[in-house]
Amino acid sequence: MQNIHDNEIISYKVDLQKSKITFQTLGGKDNSVPVMIEFIDVLAHMFETQLQGSINE
* pLDDT tens per residue across span 2-12: 788 888 888 89
What pLDDT, on a 0 to 100 scale, did the predictor assign at position 29? 75
Q: Is residue 23 part of a domain?
A: yes
Domain membership of residue 46 (yes or no) is no
Structural domain includes residue 51: no
Q: How many domains does the chain have?
A: 1
> Does 14 score more than 90 pLDDT?
yes
Backbone φ and ψ for 30, nearest 5 degrees, come out as -100, 10
Please state the pTM of the whole predicted model. Answer: 0.74
Whether 32 is covered by a domain: the verdict is: yes
Q: What angle do CA 35, 41, 42 make, to 5 degrees?
A: 80
| pLDDT, tens digit, 9 for 90 and up, residues 25-43 | 898 777 788 999 999 999 9
